[in-house]
Structure 1
C-alpha cells in the first residue's frame, strides 16, 4: 500500500514553518500564527493595522514582513516564489475566508505596464471561460503603494517543482497523457481567443492541488541510484503567467519564449504566431517523459545544432530565409555553420551526446504500445505551417486511444 503524505509539495522555496491547511479542505478561521495587531479607531471600531511605509528594495520589489496586511483585506502568510516580474505571496483573504496567491509586481514602469496587459488578458480569458479553459483564475487586482497586485486562486506546485522534488524522475506516460491533454485544451482555448501564450514551460503549469502519494523505486537512466518518488493525487493542472501573452494581430517582439522551449522560427528571425506555442508543448511533453529538458543550451547556434541532431536537418527554405541577425548561424546560405561555428569543444560534445527523438523517448516509454512518438514529431516539426495545431493534437490517437 502506498503511504499518503499529508503535507503538500513545497512551492518555489522551502518554508520554515508548518504549511496551513488548504482552503478546500476546511473553511478555517483566520490563521493564528502572526496575526496582525488590532487597533481601535476614533469611533471604537476595530481595524487591522497597516504595515509601516518602507522603501522598496533596489530592484523595486515590495518589502514586507509575514503577518502584515496587503491592504486590510489580505494578510501575508509566506512567499511562494519570485521572478523578474516581482514576488508571489501566499495570503489569507479575510473577505472570502480562503488562501490566495497574490502576484506583487515590481514598482518599475515597464513591469507595471506589463502587469496591466496581463490583467487585461486574464480578464479576457475569464470573460469567455465556461469552466474548461484550464487557465488560472484572476480573483481581483489593485494598485498598492505603486505595486500592481494580481490576486489568483491558490494552486499547488509547478510541474517543474514536482520533477525537481522527485530528483527529475519522469512522470508515468499515463500521467503525461493527462497533463498533455489539459495543456493542449488551455492552448486551444487561448488560440480560439486569438491569444498566443509565448512562454509555455513546466514552471508555468501548476497542479491544482499540493497533495501527493509517495511510491518506492524510481531509477534514473543516467544513474544507478534508486529513489522513492511522489505522484500527485490529482492530475488536474492549470496554466499560469500571461505576462508575455500576445494577441495575434498586434506587433510581435522578435524574441519570445524561455530558451529551452523556443521554436526554430523565433531563433531564425522568421516571425512567429500560434505554432510557437505548439513547439513549446512538444518540448514540455518530452521533458515530462524523460525528466530532463530536451534542449539544454544557452546559445543559438548550439540550440539549432541540437534540434538537427534530435529531429534531422532544418528545411532549406527556412535556412535561406533566416534574417540578418541569424545569418551568422548559416554557412553559405545552405546549412548550419556547425561544428565550425561552435563556441567550444564542450558545445560540440553536448550536441553529439544527444540521441534521436525516438531513441530518447523510448528509454522511458514503451513506444510499441504508445503513439506518443508520432504526436511529438507532429508538434516538433520545423516548419510552423506543418506543425500540428492544438485542436489537431487533441484528436491524435495518443489521446483518443490510450493503451
Structure 2
C-alpha cells in the first residue's frame, strides 16, 4: 500500500481480516497443563496467515493535506496528537499498537484524552523528543509546560495518573510476551516518528 504512495490512516484490528475461512484445531498447551482431562484444551487457528486490509474510507495519497486528526484513538501516533503533520509512519505506529494488542489481548493505550495518551506513550517509550514538544501546534501546546509534557501536573484525576503508572515499559512488555524476532520488530516500530520511518525502510 505504501509502495502505491497511499496512507491508510485508520489501521486497527477491525480493519484487518483473515483471508481464508478454513481453520484447524491445535493443542492449547497452556490450558492442557491445567486441565489435561478436559476436551477443551484445543484452540482454533486459521490454516493460512494471509490477511487483507479493509476500509479505505480515510485513505489518502502522500503529499495531500496532512494536518488534520486521523486514526482511531488507541492506534493514533504522537505526531498526529501534536498536530505536526503525518505520513507513512502513522500507519507504522498503528501496526505496532496492533501487534501489542494481539500479543497481550488488550489495547496498549486505553484512553480517550490527549494528555493522558501522551503520558502513556512516555511511560512506555521514554521521554518525548524535544523537537516534538517545541513544535506542538496551537491546539496541542497546552500539553507542554516548561519544555516537557505537563504530566502529572495536568492530569484530570488520580485515576488517570494510576492508569499511566500501571503501564509497563516497552522493554518489560517485550521480555514477558515476545520472541527475539518480534522483539526486534517492536523496537523499530514503536518509536518516535523520524526513527520509526528510517527503521522500517531498513526492514524492507
Under TM normalisation by the shorter chain, which class is it?
Answer: 0.7 to 0.9
Per-residue deviation at 1:249?
2.2
Decide which of 269, 275, 279 is 2:89's aligned counterpart: 275
Tell me: CA distance 1:365–1:244, structure 2 relative to 1, closer, same or farther (3 Å).
same
What is the distance in 2 between the residues matched to 1:302 and 1:378? 24
Does 2:145 align with 1:312?
A: no
Decide which of 23, 48, 51 is 1:212's aligned counterpart: 23
Partner of 2:186: 376
Decide which of 323, 333, 347 is 2:137's aligned counterpart: 323
Tell me: CA distance 1:227–1:340, structure 2 relative to 1, closer, same or farther (3 Å).
farther
Does 2:165 align with 1:352?
A: yes
The Cα RMSD (Å) is 2.0
Deviations along 1:68-126, one digit per CA (max 9) or x if unpaired, are xxxxxxxxxxxxxxxxxxxxxxxxxxxxxxxxxxxxxxxxxxxxxxxxxxxxxxxxxxx
Q: 3-state DSSP class of the match of 2:71?
A: coil
Partner of 2:35: none
Does 2:135 align with 1:336?
A: no
Per-residue deviation at 1:328?
1.4
Partner of 1:262: 76
What is the distance in 2 between the residues matched to 1:213 and 1:393? 35
What is the distance in 2 between the residues matched to 1:312 and 1:253? 25
Decide which of 251, 261, 266 is 2:65's aligned counterpart: 251
What is the distance in 1 between the residues matched to 2:47 and 2:202? 26
Per-residue deviation at 1:317?
1.1
Partner of 1:192: 3
Greater helix fraction, Structure 1 or Structure 2 = 2
Instruction: Note if contact 1:260-1:295 (Cα within 8 Å) is conserved in structure 2.
Output: yes
Partner of 1:385: 194
Per-residue deviation at 1:371?
3.1
**TM-score for both structures, normalised by structure 2:** 0.87
What is the distance in 2 between the residues matched to 1:253 and 1:324? 12
- Count matched residues: 195
Per-residue deviation at 1:254?
1.2
Q: 3-state DSSP class of the match of 1:386?
A: helix
Deviations along 1:166-208, one digit per CA (max 9) or x if unpaired, are xxxxxxxxxxxxxxxxxxxxxxxx2221111001111111001
What is the distance in 2 between the residues matched to 1:228 and 1:360? 26
Within 5 Å, give how 1:118-267 maps onto structure 2: 190-214=1-25, 215-218=27-30, 229-267=43-81
What is the distance in 1 between the residues matched to 2:16 and 2:75? 14
Instruction: Note if contact 1:319-1:330 (Cα within 8 Å) is conserved in structure 2.
Output: yes
Partner of 1:362: 175
Per-residue deviation at 1:389?
5.3
Instruction: Note if contact 1:275-1:389 (Cα within 8 Å) is conserved in structure 2.
Output: no
Q: Which runs of 5+ in 2 are unaligned?
A: 32-39
Tell me: CA distance 1:311–1:335, structure 2 relative to 1, closer, same or farther (3 Å).
same
Instruction: Note if contact 1:286-1:361 (Cα within 8 Å) is conserved in structure 2.
Output: no
Per-residue deviation at 1:278?
0.8
Per-residue deviation at 1:350?
0.6
What is the distance in 1 between the residues matched to 2:199 and 2:152? 35
Q: Which runs of 5+ in 1 are unaligned?
A: 1-189, 220-225, 396-403
